[in-house]
Amino acid sequence: MYSFCENSCTLKHNGENKDKLNVFTPGDFAMKTMEIILKPIGIIRSPYKTKSDAPRQGRLVQTLGTVEIFPEFNEGLKDIEKRTHVILIYWLHQASRETLITPTPDNPFPQGVFSIRSPNRPNPLGICTLELIERKGNILTVKGIDAIDGTPLVDIKPYIPKLDEVSCVDRKT
């Protein structure tokens, strides 16, 4: 029999301390079994109707698209037009959630999805930094879109160069 304690604790099996094997908090178990529910704040409109139509990365194209924010979130757009760029976080609703290892267009050897930008992953969140062209009410016009038309929007963050820009990120092997 395994037992838990209220705060940070040690796993006990049949009353015997197993601290050298597994130390955890009750929150660890809850974290592994929790369900996260996301409510879309809007919808992305783009010329891409299928996955094969969409570019691999939005920064590689200059395609215009629009982001429609649902009315109940419109107030959250206050002052967004002061930004030149925004970061969209969206749900890749046509992606496979079963994939953990996959090949990439740039590498013939399969890699783990957490080390690449594959849309297929356990929690298929897409992220794209786009130029904000204009805001008209609850509609944002953006440049550099890579999402499929009808993609659910999860969040918008401002792009802030001193926080978001990283000059050298790849490790030398």
> Quick one: average pLDDT of 43-54?
82
Tens-place pLDDT, residues 67-86: 999 999 999 999 999 999 99
Tens-place pLDDT, residues 123-173: 889 999 999 999 999 999 999 998 999 999 999 999 988 888 877 666 655
Strands (E) located in 113-159: 125-136, 139-143, 151-158
What is the Cα–Cα distance from 131 to 148, expressed in whole angstroms? 17
Best CA proximity match to 120, nearest among 137, 139, 96, 100: 96
- Cβ–Cβ under 8 Å, residues 138 and 68: yes
Q: What per-residue confidence (pLDDT) applies to 15?
A: 54
Q: What per-residue confidence (pLDDT) applies to 137?
A: 96
Q: Which residue has the higher pLDDT, 105 or 159?
A: 159
119: Cβ contacts below 8 Å, ≥ 6 apart: 51, 92, 94, 95, 126
Q: Enumerate domains of the chain plus CATH numbers.
A: 2-33 (no CATH), 42-161 (2.40.30.70)
